[in-house]
């Protein structure tokens, strides 16, 4: 099928030749035929050679590449792509695993589907569009998901009200079920249960990307006093409890998050009084707390969402970590994270280094953490590596 064409300025095809999946608006010389936002367009070089096709959008990223081959983006295309995504999760041991029914099935650029996120919670898939094109194609994608996943996915919830560009002239962005519709909302991660609030919760309802890091934390929890700062739905807390922690305190500024954490702890450990949760600002809590903790998790929200906020973000990470270094018990272990895409691994490490130096304590790096395999990084799109973590031993 012939799509409308966009033409690049001379020399602007280099990144596409290296399979980077974005075309910036500044690289475009000409757009033919006034494509609508979200329409598929063919991208041509200044020498009029086809180079890619993808979703067109008005904004700094003008085209998100779907294919470097000239092909039709139809039902078969979506099925092929979702089948590849599924095969990868099968290879990772995430599908058909009796202990775990929570995983990311589609991770945007990491699965060659820029702008699309799909998380699976037991039999419900939560689908999120971050581009106009994925929004326009949502029904075709839902059909393909149905065909590829069979019985595994019985309900598809579309949750894009807050992730789509507000400027795009899109009609009918409403959260809701595209298929099925189940009130059932308990899922399992590594044998632990949790409620997923896909209707109102952040992201798709749960932070699926910390699964392996939580499992690592469990191994360190035995006999320790744990502070889970920025707990959200309490993921790290119930792993710490299963790992035999002496006590676990969960803190989040959102009262709703604290309710979710309490519910999830109760679901896994009814009547267990080792856990307490506090709705409080992180900095206030870290200032007023004592020195009882010897295992601290710091998993804050992205301090920088854009490049221009980077400096302040780094200062924020330093300040936060400095408080933990100041208070953690000798022999304590700190799990510290950054999920800001614009903060590089080295930036983050420098921020934590500065905090450690301020405390004057002896600190060793035990593990360097990142996102799990169901959040793959496309080698041609290194920006996709967003989660960074350090596990530190503080003497």
Applying CB under 6 A, the span of 72-80, 144-152, 253-261, 341-349 interacting with ligand SAH comes to: 253-261
Counting Cβ atoms within 10 Å, is residue 209 exposed (0-12), middle (13-18) or buried (19+)? Answer: buried
Tokens of 156: 């598809």
Asked whether the CA dihedral 33, 34, 40, 44 is positive or negative, the reply is positive
- Dihedral, 203, 353, 245, 253 alpha carbons, nearest 10: -40
Separation in Å, CA 344 to CA 24, 190, 370, 382:
21, 29, 12, 10
Applying CB under 6 A, the span of 54-62, 227-235, 323-331, 363-371 interacting with ligand SAH comes to: 227-235
Exactly one of 109, 122, 146, 299 binds ligand SAH (CB under 6 A); that residue is: 299
Tell me how far, at minimum, the Cβ of 39 lies from ligand SAH, in Å. 35
The answer to the question of residue 207 lying near ligand SAH (CB under 6 A) is yes
Q: Is 53 a catalytic residue?
A: no
Nearest to 223 by CA among 241, 250, 237, 238: 241
For the chain, the farthest-separated pair of C-alpha atoms sits apart, in whole angstroms, at 70
Nearer to ligand SAH (CB atom), residue 7 or residue 293 = 293
Residue keyed to tokens 């004592």: 290
The answer to the question of residue 78 lying near ligand SAH (CB under 6 A) is no
The answer to the question of residue 83 lying near ligand SAH (CB under 6 A) is no
The answer to the question of residue 235 lying near ligand SAH (CB under 6 A) is yes
DSSP state of 251: E
Q: Catalytic: which of 94, 141, 221, 339? A: 339
Separation in Å, CA 7 to CA 59, 114, 232:
16, 20, 45
Question: What mask of x and - would describe binding to ligand SAH in positions 154 to 193, judged by CB under 6 A?
Answer: ----------------------------------------
The answer to the question of residue 238 lying near ligand SAH (CB under 6 A) is no
Exactly one of 97, 154, 175, 253 binds ligand SAH (CB under 6 A); that residue is: 253
Site residue total, ligand SAH (CB under 6 A): 17
- Binding residues vs ligand SAH (CB under 6 A): 207, 210, 230-233, 235-236, 252-254, 257, 281-282, 299-301
- Catalytic machinery residues: 339
């Amino acid at each position: 099928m012939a799509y409308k064409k966009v033409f690049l300025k001379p020399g602007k095809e280099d990144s596409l030749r290296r399979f980077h999946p974005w075309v910036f608006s500044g690289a475009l010389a000409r757009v033919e035929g006034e494509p609508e936002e979200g329409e598929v367009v063919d991208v041509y070089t200044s020498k009029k050679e086809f180079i890619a096709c993808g979703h067109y959008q008005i904004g700094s990223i003008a085209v998100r590449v779907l294919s470097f081959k000239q092909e039709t983006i139809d039902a078969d295309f979506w099925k092929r792509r979702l089948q590849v995504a599924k095969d990868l999760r099968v290879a990772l041991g995430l599908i058909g695993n009796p202990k775990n029914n929570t995983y990311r099935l589609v991770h945007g650029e990491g699965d060659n589907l820029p702008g699309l996120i799909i998380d699976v919670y037991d039999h419900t898939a939560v689908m999120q569009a971050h581009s106009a094109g994925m929004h326009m194609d949502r029904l075709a994608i839902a059909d393909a998901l149905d065909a590829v996943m069979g019985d595994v996915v019985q309900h598809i919830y579309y949750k894009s009200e807050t992730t789509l560009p507000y400027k795009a002239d899109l009609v009918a962005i409403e959260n809701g079920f595209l298929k099925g519709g189940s009130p059932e909302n308990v899922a399992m991660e590594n044998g632990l249960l949790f409620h997923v609030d896909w209707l109102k919760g952040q992201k798709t309802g749960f932070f699926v990307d910390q699964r392996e890091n939580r499992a690592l934390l469990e191994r360190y929890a035995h006999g320790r006093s744990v502070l889970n700062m920025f707990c959200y739905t309490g993921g790290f807390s119930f792993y710490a409890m299963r790992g035999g922690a002496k006590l676990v305190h969960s803190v989040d500024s959102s009262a709703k998050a604290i309710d979710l954490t309490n519910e999830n702890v109760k679901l896994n450990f009814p009547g267990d009084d080792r856990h307490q949760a506090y709705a409080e600002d992180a900095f206030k809590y870290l200032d007023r707390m004592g020195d009882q903790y010897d295992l601290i998790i710091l998993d804050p929200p992205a301090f920088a969402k854009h490049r221009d906020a980077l400096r302040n973000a780094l200062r924020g990470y330093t300040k936060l970590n400095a408080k933990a270094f100041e208070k953690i018990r000798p022999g304590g272990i700190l799990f510290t994270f950054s999920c800001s895409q614009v903060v590089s691994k080295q930036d983050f490490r420098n921020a934590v280094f500065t905090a450690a130096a301020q405390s004057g304590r002896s600190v060793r790096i035990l593990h360097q953490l990142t996102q799990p395999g169901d959040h793959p990084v496309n080698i041609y799109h290194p920006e996709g590596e967003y989660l960074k973590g350090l596990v530190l031993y503080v003497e």
